[in-house]
Amino acid sequence: MHEPLLRVDGLHVSFRTHRGLVNAVRGVSFEVGREKVGIVGESGSGKSITGRSVMRLLPPAAEARANRLSFRDIDLLRASEKQMLDIRGGQIGLIMQDPKYSLNPVVRVGDQIAEAYRLHRGGNRKAARASAMAMLEAVKIRDPERVYRLYPHEVSGGMGQRIMIATMLLAEPDLLIADEPTSALDVTVRLEVLSILDELIETRGLGLIFISHDLNLVRAFCDRVLIMYAGRIVEELPASELEHARHPYTQGLLAALPRIHERRERLAVLQRDPDWLDGPTYR
Amino acid sequence: MIAVDDLVVSFGDDDEVKRAVDGIGFEVREGETFGLVGESGCGKSTVLRVLAGLNPSYDGRLRIAGRDIGPRRDKALMKSVQMVFQDPYGSLHPRQTVNAQLMEPLRIQGLDDAAGRVERALDAVGLGPAFRYRYPHQLSGGQRQRVAIARALILEPDVLLLDEPTSALDVSVQAEVLNLLADLKAAGGLTYVLVSHDLGVIAHMCDRLAVMTEGRIVEELDVQELVAGAARHPYTVTLLRASETYGEGGVPAATSETNEATIPEPRKT
Amino acid sequence: MSAGTLRHWLNAEAAASPFQAFAQRAWLGWLQLLRNPLGMIGLLIIVALLLVAAFAPVIASQSPYEQNLRNVLAPPSSEHLFGTDELGRDIFSRVVYGSRITLLIVLLVSVIVAPIGLLVGAVSGYLGGWVDVALMRLTDLFLAFPSLILALAFVAAMGPGLENAIIAISLTAWPQIARLARAETLTVRNSDYIAAVRLQGASPMRVVLRHVLPMCVPSVIIRVTLNMAGIILTAAGLGFLGLGAQPPSPEWGAMTSTGRRYMLDSWWLVTMPGLAILTVSLAFNLFGDALRDILDPRSS
Ligand SMILES: Nc1ncnc2c1ncn2[C@@H]1O[C@H](COP(=O)(O)OP(=O)(O)O)[C@@H](O)[C@H]1O
Ligand SMILES: Nc1ncnc2c1ncn2[C@@H]1O[C@H](COP(=O)(O)OP(=O)(O)O)[C@@H](O)[C@H]1O
Ligand SMILES: [Mg+2]
Ligand SMILES: [Mg+2]
């Protein structure tokens, strides 16, 4: 395997609230190379907080500590804010669930892509525009000339997510963090966006952290899967081995899925075991 | 139980009319679970809102329980059709306790033994009395959806309209809610209309389904037919293939936008 | 109940009664207020105002009307804390009694303005259509005039006096509240929880009163509290122009008005009631800001 891009060791994140300290992430360790790593778990299990810790984009009430949190040879915990600005969107890209919140509503989408290009790569307007256009084509937008001139509210969810991917990839990052990038999309559109993401990642050899609550999606899309439960990784395994997961939580999640070709009277309901909170991690 | 004939719903004013529902018809038999599938914006929620009586401006014929229904409904009729909404975070009143929200329908309909009914309703959806005086912000998504189901069922309706009831929930919670819905129906006397974009959910819950695109029903079939691959309309086939791709691994080759309109209609809220 | 069990009761995960649920909410709000020093200052001043008004006879050193023509325009001293006015009345006592009038104005205006504004705004926003158009034109009509001018015109027509001043101020204050309540209503009327009660067969009036209004109340309370400063100032302005409370009433605005003639050599006549107006309106402003942080539904 390649040399890891991102190393996370013993990451803890806690929030100060009026009811006391909330430990959102409790000792998470993993590495990401030039591969597609999925993080799955139910809502509140700490997936987004883990992703945001890497970008150092935590809310002010949060406090993060780790034995190690490094991207290549940069210590992300100690990096200056200036260094982080360069890393965010430059070397690590972030794609979020709803592109509407990530795009500036009053600037044409093409101009936003071009602006992102100039920010990270410099160059004149004309070159930026040409690159933006090429990028729109790379995310399989059929009529880039027309789409370039649209405003964010004029594009559909799937198109918006393609544009976000284009914006993120222009800076040629090495690692992409996608937080539920397709959860707001229709099933058919979802597959199209995923296949575009897949193709671009393969051809450019990027690393990807794919955060999702959808086990099926991650199984189909990723190389490796981390299962999170209550702020910890309880199981880590190759996506192809998911069917043979050993942790009862992972098994429970799989059994709870309704299947098209397997009609059952009742769906299996997850029986939560308090031991999972601090139990072993299956690797 | 429900018969819809040539239903048309339009939005917008004179110079820019948009037909959200464009002449659809279907029948739902008593005691059945009828699925409604289609991409977002194709008019599924609009159909449900007409059935529920929330949208009085429609054209077409509507029969519920053998009665012709006009745009205006009386209290008794309102009681017989209830709905569970998609977003559990928006469907409960943020400033009322669970108790207040369950008492309200009983007061409106003037039913007796309100306290007992509330207790039994909470029990039926698997929430103990401990949840009775909580505010929605003290509940998880799955618990909220249970309260919403309790609120709909406390009036003992004949028809329950379910608008993507589990799409905002985790799979583990989805399984609990779907099981709950199945149990409640098994207890008797309910007819479901279930909207979902997840064919797995539809296949699990429904007897028959209709597939919608752009305000029209393009195909109506039994779930067995769907599962056996007997769907004929290209959209149904694409949808089925997309849903199956998940389970079997592998993502198909990249394509240009196909099913997606490049410029959506302006959204109105 | 001991302090420990009370705290436990307030922080309990699940409430066991409607009252406990309500108390828990109030307790959370209180904790939030404690963390807002400016808001606490505002609240303390308002509480002090209430106490002063309640115990005015005890606090004041003499009657606010008692004249002493041999000791007019005396500067502040240990005997007359705020000095005396042109008729030898003790200004401190007058300011203390004046707090009752100020409170009366504040109370009456909020009791009149909030319900009218809420109802007009919520009905207008919820029903829409021609009702909305008619009610909103009406509010526009009132909004079109500067509030002091409208109040002036009203008082001029009805005659000067405290009651008329209060009615006049209320007339100018409700349209803003109505606008606010309407905007709030527009955001909640299409929500699913409103659809759910409509499905249960609730009449439009029931939906508005029991389900829409509670959503507007917090922002209206905030607005009324913030407006209170303006209302106190308008009341003082009317008093100052001789159109509000009439002499010898110790209304703060009227006091500044009469004191104005002696401003150059007897500064305390204007300054003391003026400071009272300033302090109290500032307090309402600070408290209103804190309330916004606590009550605003968008913050939770
Ligand atoms: N701003 C916050 N204040 C307090 N707790 C928070 C905050 N944001 C997140 N949390 C806590 O962190 C946990 C993990 O959140 P998150 O990473 O967003 O979950 P998810 O796996 O759904 O992405 C949640 O259970 C929540 O309690
Ligand atoms: N109140 C409304 N005003 C205007 N347009 C609406 C309204 N409600 C729905 N629409 C439009 O009708 C179409 C169908 O919407 P909807 O029934 O919500 O779709 P679905 O539930 O299938 O996602 C959409 O194009 C939507 O923009
Ligand atoms: Mg998340
Ligand atoms: Mg819908």
Q: Edge-to-edge, what's the strand order for the sheet holding A207-212? A: A92-95, A175-179, A207-212, A36-40, A224-229, A232-238
Where exactly are the structural domains of chain A?
Answer: 98-172
Distances (CA, A) of C196 to A240, B14, B93, B165, B255: 44, 30, 9, 14, 41
CA distance B199 to B202: 5
Share of chain C above pLDDT 90, in %: 41
Distances (CA, A) of B163 to A88, B87, B101: 39, 9, 20
- Look-up: residue for tokens 């309640």? C54
**Which neighbouring-strand residues pair with A228?**
A233
Cβ proximity of A155 and B217 under 8 Å = no
For ligand 2, atom 11, the nearest C-alpha belongs to B20
Q: What residues line ligand 2, using a CB cutoff of 6 Å?
A: B 11, 20, 38, 40-46, 265, 267-268
For ligand 1, atom 5, the nearest C-alpha belongs to A15
Cβ proximity of B86 and B168 under 8 Å = yes
Q: What is the pLDDT of residues A86-123, one digit of tens each?
A: 888 889 999 888 777 788 889 998 898 888 888 887 88
CA distance B243 to A216: 10
Two tokens, residue A196? 């575009």
Which of A12, A17, A49 to mutate to test ligand 1, by most ligand atoms within 8 A of the CB atom?
A49
Mean pLDDT: which of A67-71, A161-165, A277-281, C15-19 is highest?
Answer: A67-71
Question: What is the CA angle C247-C252-C255, rounded to 5?
Answer: 50
Read off the pLDDT of each residue in C72-85 and give the average, rounded to a whole number.
89
Rounded to the nearest angstrom, the distance between the alpha carbon of C189 and the centre of ligand 2 is: 16
For ligand 1, atom 25, the nearest C-alpha belongs to A44
In angstroms and rounded to an integer, the radius of gyration of the C-alpha atoms of chain B is: 19
Among the listed ranges A146-150, A183-187, B76-80, which one has the minimum average pLDDT value?
A183-187
Cβ proximity of A237 and A283 under 8 Å = yes
Report helix, strand or coil for C289.
helix
pLDDT band at A263 (very low <50, low <70, confident <90, very high): confident
Count Cβ–Cβ pairs < 8 Å, chain A vs chain C. 3
Distance from CA of C224 to the nearest CA of B (A): 20
The string of DSSP letters for A86-149 reads HHBTTTEEEE-S-HHHHS-TTS-HHHHHHHHHHHHH---HHHHHHHHHHHHHHTT-S-HHHHHT
Among the listed ranges B260-269, C153-162, C250-259, which one has the minimum average pLDDT value?
B260-269
Ligand 1 atom closest to the CA of A180, numbered from 1: 23
Cβ proximity of B161 and B35 under 8 Å = no
Ligand 1 atom closest to the CA of A51, numbered from 1: 17
pLDDT band at B258 (very low <50, low <70, confident <90, very high): very low
Higher pLDDT, C237 or A251: A251
CA distance B155 to B78: 10
pLDDT of residue B7: 95
Two tokens, residue A199? 């193709």
CA distance A13 to A243: 31
| Strand A6-17 relative to strand A68-71, pairing | antiparallel
Handedness of CA C261, C262, C267, C268 (dihedral sign): negative
The mean pLDDT of chain A is 88
- Look-up: residue for tokens 């029986």? A271
**A19 close to C (CB below 8 A):** yes
Cβ proximity of A186 and B39 under 8 Å = yes
**C193 close to B (CB below 8 A):** yes
Cβ proximity of C220 and C181 under 8 Å = yes
Ligand 1 close to Cβ of residue A28 (< 6 A): no
Q: What is the pLDDT of residues A10-55, one digit of tens each?
A: 999 999 877 778 899 999 999 999 999 999 998 889 999 999 999 9
Read off the pLDDT of each residue in A155-171 and give the average, rounded to a whole number.
84
- The number of residues in chain C equals 300
- Which helix (DSSP H) or strand (DSSP E) does residue B27 occupy? strand B18-28
Q: What is the pLDDT of residues B131-174, one digit of tens each?
A: 899 889 888 888 999 999 999 999 999 999 999 998 888 888 89
Cβ proximity of B119 and B150 under 8 Å = no
Q: Would the pLDDT of C174 be above 50?
A: yes
CB-nearest to B242 from A153, A187, A198 is A187
pLDDT of residue C246: 83
Q: Would the pLDDT of C193 be above 90?
A: yes
Read off the pLDDT of each residue in A238-254 and give the average, rounded to a whole number.
92
Higher pLDDT, C240 or B263: C240
CB-CB under 8 Å, B199 with A187: yes
Q: What backbone phi and psi angles, to 5 degrees, belong to A10?
A: 60, 50
Read off the pLDDT of each residue in B37-52 and give the average, rounded to a whole number.
92
Higher pLDDT, B216 or A139: B216
Two tokens, residue A54? 């890497």
Distance from the Cα of residue A63 to its chain's centroid: 21
Instruction: Find the Cα–Cα–Cα–Cα dihedral B196, B200, B203, B206, rounded to 10°.
Output: -30
Model ipTM value: 0.87
Q: What is the pLDDT of residues B190-208, one digit of tens each?
A: 999 999 988 999 999 999 9
Count of alpha carbons within 13 angstroms of residue A64, beta-carbon side: 26
pLDDT band at C298 (very low <50, low <70, confident <90, very high): low
User: How many helices and strands in chain B, by DSSP H and E?
Assistant: 9, 10
pTM, entire model: 0.84
Question: Which residues in chain A are closer than 8 Å to B141, comparing Cβ atoms?
Answer: 43
Q: Would the pLDDT of B254 be above 50?
A: no
CA distance A258 to A167: 36
- Which helix (DSSP H) or strand (DSSP E) does residue A194 occupy? helix A187-204
Cβ proximity of A90 and A172 under 8 Å = no
CA-nearest of B157, B167, B172, B199 to B52 is B157
**C129 close to B (CB below 8 A):** no
CA-nearest of A98, A113, A109, A103 to A181 is A98
Q: Would the pLDDT of B109 be above 90?
A: yes
Two tokens, residue C67? 């004249």
Q: What is the pLDDT of residues A200-217, one digit of tens each?
A: 888 889 999 999 988 888
Task: Respond yes or no on whether the N-terminal peptide bond of residue C37 is cis (omega within 30° of 0).
Answer: no
Q: C109-112 — which CB contacts under 8 Å span 24+ positions? A: C109/C166, C109/C169, C109/C170, C109/C173, C109/C231, C110/C224, C110/C228, C112/C166, C112/C167, C112/C170, C112/C174
Cβ proximity of C289 and C39 under 8 Å = yes
The mean pLDDT of chain C is 88
Count Cβ–Cβ pairs < 8 Å, chain A vs chain B. 150
Among the listed ranges A60-69, B83-92, B206-215, C148-157, which one has the minimum average pLDDT value?
C148-157
Question: Which residues in chain A are closer than 8 Å to B196, comparing Cβ atoms?
Answer: none
Read off the pLDDT of each residue in B50-66 and give the average, rounded to a whole number.
92
Q: What is the pLDDT of residues C210-253, one digit of tens each?
A: 999 999 988 898 888 888 878 888 888 888 888 888 888 898 98
Read off the pLDDT of each residue in C43-72 and give the average, rounded to a whole number.
91
pLDDT band at A283 (very low <50, low <70, confident <90, very high): confident
Domains defined along chain C, listed by start? 101-273 (1.10.3720.10)
CA distance C10 to C35: 18
- Look-up: residue for tokens 């309200």? B104
**A261 close to C (CB below 8 A):** no
| Strand B2-11 relative to strand B159-163, pairing | unpaired
For ligand 2, atom 25, the nearest C-alpha belongs to B41
Helix axes B114-124, B141-153, angle to 10 degrees: 130
